[in-house]
Amino acid sequence: MMRELYKKTKQLFPLGDLTEQRHDLVFVSIPHPFLSSLLRHLRDKEGFSHLVLLTAVDWLERGEFQLTYLLCNRSKAWDMGVRVVLPREGATMESIHTLWPTAATYQRELKEMFGIDFPGSPGVNDDFILEGWDDIPPYRRDFDTLKFAEARFTQRPGRESLDPAQHMAKHHSDGS
């Protein structure tokens, strides 16, 4: 059934290959200029009325971000992930908050955590979680968590770092 939808939709849009995760969950990719039109079509013509989530993957080695828009057709119990790739440098994507108002929250999070901009999305430039953040976005793979923590936080007396394997072996061998 999902294959038929894919074939029909591929006649209208330049879709990439179909990836079937399960009989009721598929993924397709599309060049970013066609994303909004495809999402509108899936919502208005194919019954994918619910935006389940919007997430990103940082492909640092390739210099790209991959956005995945997961949509649900509740009447058929189908889920479709639509993937789009953006250049990592100056990453910008059209906002879809006019299609699904809840997208504004996801877009705001992706702006703060990855640095992907969604111009015109409500509140996209407002602090979301990281009030006063002044470093590179923390979900980018080139963000050095250890370096950040060492520069910002002092070691407290009585704290020590233990190798988990050695710690567990010691406690297992002495019966504690």
Domain boundaries, the chain: 2-173
Whole-angstrom Cα distance, residue 64 to residue 41? Answer: 26
pLDDT of residue 176: 56
Look over the chain and give the mean of its residue pLDDT values, rounded to a whole number: 93
Largest CA-CA distance found in the chain, in angstroms, rounded: 68
- Domain 2-173: homologous superfamily in CATH: NADH:ubiquinone oxidoreductase Nqo5 subunit (3.30.460.80)
pLDDT tens per residue across span 116-172: 999 999 999 999 899 988 889 999 999 998 898 888 888 777 767 777 888 788 877
Structure tokens at 166: 């050695």
The percentage of the chain sitting over the pLDDT mark of 70, rounded to a whole number, equals 98
Residue 27: predicted pLDDT: 98
Contact 82, 68 (CB under 8 A): yes
pTM here? 0.85
Give residue 140's pLDDT. Answer: 96
For the cut 80, the answer to whether the pLDDT of residue 52 exceeds it is yes
6-38 per-position pLDDT tens digit = 999 999 999 999 999 999 999 999 999 999 999
105/95 Cα distance (integer angstroms) = 11
